[in-house]
Chains A and B, each alone.
Chain A
Amino acid sequence: MRAYIVKRLIVAVATLLGMSILVFALMRLAPGNITDIIFESAGYVDEEDKKRLEEELGIDRPIAAQYGRWLADLVRGELGKSYRFDRPAWEIIQPRLPVTVELAVLALVFSVVLGVPTGVISAIRQDRPLDYVLRVLSLAGLSMPSFWLGMIIILVLVRSLGWIPSVTYVSPFDDLWANLAQFLLPALAVGYRSSALIMRFTRSAMLEVLREDYIRTAWAKGQREGPVVWRHALKNASLPVVTLIGIEFAFLIGGLIVTETVFNLPGVARYLVDAILWRDYPIVQNLTMLIAVVVVLANLAVDLLYAWLDPRIKYETA
């Protein structure tokens, strides 16, 4: 087990290194740099001023030198300075992290709480009216982009109640209820799509497991439905679902970008897009690496969960 974790961590470091090269290269391949954007914003270009600014920001140096310096800073835990705001990058990223974390966690909770039980119910009520209703709802979830659903939620709220969640961030430590009112709807908008996917995976995995001999044996022994379905069947059906949840977590962060924009939540996902448009390299590179670390760790956690869910699974390094 320990050897497996060590091996996975080595692979994770290699993945992150590859990721760092990719994000660094992609940002440099995009047309224009921050000085172009700054002058664009000012409505003119002065080549001399531009050159001076490039020197000041260090983006006139060779690409390899820029990459080396960024990587060295990253290893030391120094995130550099936001070119756009002229402030330490961490100062810009830090207040936005709790927003995205809260939204992502709530969305994930929504998707699991909605997706798993409905998938199980749908499987045990296969081809009955309730199954059809749940399948239609899940299909709707898969068909509706989260930003569209978010916008519809806002329009319905403002038209029917004359109210929308606060457009400025409310910390849960300042006002928990206002914070929940602000986050539950966007979390629902993001989580609904994932819940639909989880529901369909759970349903199909459950249908397969429910046809296994040991389940038939359990029924034959006169066991009640609850323990059969929730203890025996669901645990064995959950491996592909857990895998899916791990993958969905990565996709969920992508979905947050637009949802944070629609609900005007000042999270890192929305800010990442702004930073890309501004070619604010330190912010883009460090945020992307942060997201990559989260995704890599989430996948590692999922892999480790397998052994807990199915003790037959052994981790070997061969």
Chain B
Amino acid sequence: MPRPPLTVSLALAALALVLAAATLPAVGQTPKYGGVLATSPISAPPSLSPHEEATIAVVASASVCFNNLVYFDPQKKQESAATVVPELAERWSWQDGSRTLVFFLRKGVKWHDGKPFTSQDVKYTFDMVRGAPDAKGKLRVNPRKLWYENVEAIEAPDPYTVAFRLKRPQPALLLMLASGYSPVYPAHVPPAEFRTRCVGTGPFKLKDHRPGEYVEFVKNPDYFVKGRPYMDGVKVVFIKDRSTQIAALQAGQLDVAGSGWNKANAETAMKGAAGLVVIEADGGTNDNVLVNFKRPPFTDVRVRRALNLALDRAAYVKGPRQGGASLGGAMLPPPAGVWGLSPADLAKLPGTGDPTRQKTEAKRLLAEAGFGPAKPLKVAVSTRAVAIYVDTASWMVDQLQQVGIDATLEQIETGVWHPKMTRRDYQIALNVTGVGVDDPDANLVENFKCGSPRNYSDYCSEEIDRMIAEQSQMTDRAARLKLVNDIDRRLQLDGARPILGWGKQYYAMWPHVKNYVPHENSIYNNSRMQDIWLDKR
């Protein structure tokens, strides 16, 4: 076996060392108070309103200002029902056969403008998000309305109790409420104001916001968690150019960076700064192929299956993802994911076996459907004109050409991407999907349910919809996992929205940053920063 070059070996050894160091908890160290954490998200957020956006840039920039009713424990790497912890709710209780979720709220909590927090704020927020006819506020755009479609009514019988009455049992609602996308807004501040400022109850208060430049927060002295936060403030700096972002981290102007970084970015950062810590985490973002189920020839199951077989998943991990990805189905696979297929299951899915054999089978299916060298299938692979999309889409074009498909790349400007997908004005497309909550009720419902706004493929199976609804009501975790795995297998075999794999995230930080724990199965739910401290003095 050829030996890797010395530089590569050294780099790998160094990476292993820093990974080991990074995963060491700050055990035995007494947290220190003070300091301001400087960080930089993937891009400048379009606004500071998590309820109106669907990008990590907003959650990463604004979460320190807010609180949820409940939140995923920031110190636990894997999010699940077992890691949901109280925030504005002191405790909660399922009642009426899991049809009503009652929250008992903390008393004495104040908004950053001094007004008291009550159950009316919770009702106001979630009536607005679920689009209730009598909601007192309206969002400009409402990306997560679907999460709350099972909520029949929200009642606030007294200032410190709020009840979510459901149409049917849905244990996973608690997880959706624990997402970084589910903060509670104050009823006395118009929702439009959150685009440029924030009034929350969170550990840090807004000090200054220069759209596109930075957002600065200072410690909230009235924070309801005693002794938190440790830091005096957080400064979120928006740096558009990735090389400049890396240089700013290396030069010590940033304490943490890495949101949206790939493996190459992390390696570049480490080469120029001894001591920098890099953490690799799964993060719950997948590359998937949108197949237009309403446009021939993709109405033909043989063509869809050929397409799925032609895309060699191992080559995807090595190629466009440079080793920084793992194979999976619709749900993030274990050990990072809670609901994904096992390695044994994944090995049986199209695209994961012997590539030569799979490609031969793909050619046979295409021939059966009437396509071959004399009459090649012409396909445009659409994707957003963004580097990470284009890299993978170009790889797809090459893979499809290997089975005789006359594939070409169509780059679509970001501004018209979703309108084009919504109009189904594409044949096949390479898409990237970040999963807000690692739960089938969020992921499967959003992307695979008939008629869902984000089901861009128009895949629709009454049987799958029935199974999705059934798993949603189950309280037995093992039985639910079995059913979810069954759904996932069917989705992959149907080529509903073939998953190429789940990309890994790379976080880079200086060792003086303590208690920063990237989550393994979602990038959206650990930005509160109340437990982070700086070992600088």
Hey, which bits of chain A sit against chain B, CB under 8 A?
30-32, 36-46, 49, 53, 84-87, 92, 95, 151, 154-155, 157-159, 162-164, 166-169, 261-264, 266, 270-271, 274, 277-279
Contact = CB atoms under 8 A, between A and B. Distances in A.
Contacts of A168: 213-214, 235, 237
A92 B210 CA distance: 9
B212 A45 contact: no
A151 B251 CA distance: 14
Contact of B418 (A43, A154, A266): A43
B239 A85 contact: no
A203 B44 CA distance: 45
Given A151-B243, A168-B237, A45 B248 contact: no
Contacts of B44: 274
B167 interface: no
**Which A-B residue pairs are the 6 nearest by beta carbons?**
A32-B415, A43-B54, A44-B453, A45-B422, A42-B143, A266-B213
B335 interface: no
B192 interface: yes
A92 B211 contact: yes
Interface in B422-465: 422, 453-454
A167 B418 contact: no
A44 B454 contact: yes
B334 interface: no
A279 B192 CA distance: 19
Contacts of A158: 247, 250-251, 272
Interface in B232-257: 235, 237, 239-241, 243-244, 247-248, 250-254
B488 interface: no
Contacts of B244: 151, 154, 164, 167, 261-264
Interface of B: 44, 46-47, 52-55, 140-143, 192, 195-196, 210-214, 235, 237, 239-241, 243-244, 247-248, 250-254, 272-273, 413-419, 422, 453-454
A212 B292 CA distance: 75
Given A31-B415, A40-B414, A86 B196 contact: yes
B247 A277 contact: no
Nearest to A279: B415
A86 B251 CA distance: 35
A163 B251 contact: yes
A145 B377 CA distance: 43
A41 B244 CA distance: 24
Contact of B46 (A36, A41, A163, A166): A41
A264 B415 CA distance: 24
B168 to A, nearest CB: 24
Given A38-B141, A43-B143, A263-B244, A86 B195 contact: yes
Contacts of A164: 244, 247-248, 251, 253
Given A41-B55, A44-B453, A262 B241 contact: yes
**Which of B46, B140, B141, B142 has the most C-beta atoms of chain A within 10 angstroms of its own C-beta?**
B141
A159 B253 CA distance: 14
Contacts of B248: 164, 167, 264
B239 A264 contact: yes
29 contacts: A37-B414, A38-B140, A38-B141, A41-B46, A41-B54, A42-B53, A43-B418, A44-B453, A45-B418, A46-B142, A46-B453, A49-B142, A53-B141, A84-B211, A85-B195, A85-B196, A95-B210, A154-B247, A157-B251, A162-B250, A164-B247, A164-B248, A167-B253, A261-B241, A261-B244, A263-B244, A266-B213, A271-B212, A277-B414
A157 B416 CA distance: 39
Contacts of A263: 244
A40 B415 contact: yes
A152 to B, nearest CB: 10
B508 to A, nearest CB: 14
Given A162-B252, A262-B244, A36 B140 contact: no
A46 B416 CA distance: 14
B243 A154 contact: yes
A74 B418 CA distance: 33
A151 B241 CA distance: 10
